[in-house]
Amino acid sequence: MKTFLVVVVLLLAAFLAGHMFGDRVLSMAGMTASGPDSGEAGTDGPVDLRPPAEADEPADAEPAPPEADEGPYTGDVIATLSRSLGGSMGNGEFKAQGGLIATPANDAEASCDVVGFNLVYVPRRQDPVEVQNPGARYTSQASQLVQRAKPGDIYYFDNVRVRCEGDDVSRQANTLVFKIR
């Protein structure tokens, strides 16, 4: 029961942080707000949210050619199950999946793989069961939990770790939560 409470608190904290500090996401990503009114609250002026280097370039400028070796992928990686980030899913569709997929958010040519994740199964009105799953595909233990899916059950894919080409170590990806219908 403690594991379930910890997971719920972590998910709630991540959700609230995204809503409370959403304006900081742009500044952390290197974006700038510029325009006649600098995008201040309550003004009607246009806001340019391109990165600073692009914001100052003329519209008809030629894009720079891509470098031959751009190094490792540094953008966000999104973990999905059947192209879904979470929410409600039918038990047939949920049971038909073989594991998670890692997709680079901003680069269609980059290649990323799921290194592992924790699967937490919370049967309706019962204590949660957790297994660690190395790799993207379900192990036999994780597969057994997935095959027990019934309407009202909840599944958490927590501590999802991914590695992209050029990465020396794995990195954290998003958490997925599914309620079975």
Residues 131 and 119: their CA atoms lie apart, in Å, by 5
pLDDT at 160: 98
pLDDT at 133: 97
Question: Which residue would you say has higher pLDDT here, 63 or 117?
Answer: 117
| E strands, 29-111, in order | 77-80, 87-89, 101-104
- Kindly provide the b/e burial profile for residues 133-145, where b requires at least 16 CB atoms within 10 angstroms of the residue's own CB: beebebbeebbeb
| Residue 10, pLDDT above cutoff 80 | no
Local confidence band at 3 (pLDDT 50, 70, 90 cut-offs): low
| Residue 150, pLDDT above cutoff 60 | yes
The residue among 33, 64, 37 whose CA lies nearest residue 49 is 33
Give pTM, 2 decimals: 0.61
pLDDT in tens, 17-46: 444 434 333 333 444 444 444 444 544 555
**Cα distances (angstroms) measured from residue 103 to each of 25, 41, 108, 166, 170:** 20, 35, 8, 15, 14
Q: Could you tell me how far CA 4 lies from the centroid of its own chain?
A: 20
Residues 133 and 103: their CA atoms lie apart, in Å, by 19
Residues 181 and 179: their CA atoms lie apart, in Å, by 6
The full 3-state SS of 75-93, as one line of letters, equals CCEEEEECCECCEEECHHH
**Where exactly are the structural domains of the chain?**
31-63, 75-180
Q: Where are the alpha helices (DSSP H) in 57-139?
A: 91-96
pLDDT at 51: 55
| Residue 69, pLDDT above cutoff 80 | no
Structural Rg of the chain based on CA atoms: 20
